[in-house]
Amino acid sequence: MAKSDPSWSEVDDYIIQHLIGDDPVLDACLAANAREGLPVIDVSPAQGRMLELLARGVRAQRILEIGTLGGYSAIWLARALPDDGRLVSLELEPAYAAVARSNIKRAGLADKVEIIIGEAVGSLAALQAQDVNRFDFIFVDADKENYATYLDYAVQLSRPGTMLVFDNVVREGGVIDPASPDPKVPGTRELFSLLKNHPRVDATAIQTVGSKKWDGFLLGIVQDD
């Protein structure tokens, strides 16, 4: 199977046309990200809608996002929240966070979203130390090298029933290759290994193809202690 096929993007376009439609707010977010030179690594519109629907499905009131970038996925997720809901998003790069805050404000969601700047591991430790209210939905789309650590913190910051979503876990098939030259593969493989018999997380993963090529998401539900 080829690692990329033009028809994958054409199908994504069909999905967007029929099920999502035009969204000037999100288009403006992506345009601002491009102007500021941010990496083009956001989820696709179809994937963003999937995240929104998953968060709505678990009736999330508190969402944690690890990896803000320009705020594209944060906008999708914040739209799933009730009026008194809250999204906390962690971002390493101050410049990216500034773009994200502008995009989120333009989307009318600034009152629901808090962006914390700094290394995610340190920010997660601070959240845990503060004994914050547990999160109902956690989306992880950051440095894959730390995916195992993010899983540990995600479980600690969850309640029974919390949904966990990790992005980019297939890596064009690289996840099955222990000798892959992709430096992001070892952390992704460790995530799978930890979840194989995890005492508190039931998980699966799904491959995806589309405008973001061949990749996938890992989904989990946190169980009782």
pLDDT digits (tens, 9 = 90+) for 86-112: 999 999 999 999 999 999 999 999 999
Give me the chain's average pLDDT, please: 96
Contact status, residue 77 vs residue 26, Cβ threshold 8 Å: no
Q: Is the pTM of this model over 0.85?
A: yes
* pLDDT of 169 strictly over 70: yes
End-to-end alpha carbon distance in the chain: 42
Q: Give the type of residue at 185.
A: V
Widest pairwise Cα distance in the chain: 48
Structure tokens at 181: 């030259």
* pLDDT of 2 strictly over 60: no
Long-range CB contacts (within 8 A, 24+) of 54-57: 54/137, 54/163, 54/165, 54/219, 55/80, 55/81, 55/136, 55/137, 55/163, 56/80, 57/163
Percent of the chain with pLDDT strictly greater than 70: 99
Model confidence at 1, pLDDT cuts 50, 70, 90, reads very low
Q: For residues 6-27, give the mean pLDDT.
A: 96
Q: For residues 26-40, give the mean pLDDT.
A: 97
Q: To 5 degrees, how large is the angle CA 50–CA 52–CA 53?
A: 65
Q: For residues 1-26, give the mean pLDDT.
A: 90
- The continuous run of DSSP H or E covering 52 comes out as helix 45-57
Superfamily of domain 6-222: Vaccinia Virus protein VP39 (3.40.50.150)
User: What phi and psi values does residue 87 have, to the nearest 5 degrees?
Assistant: -120, 125
- Of 56-60, 96-100, 114-118, 127-131, least confident by mean pLDDT is 127-131
Write down the pLDDT at residue 3: 65
- The continuous run of DSSP H or E covering 89 comes out as strand 86-91
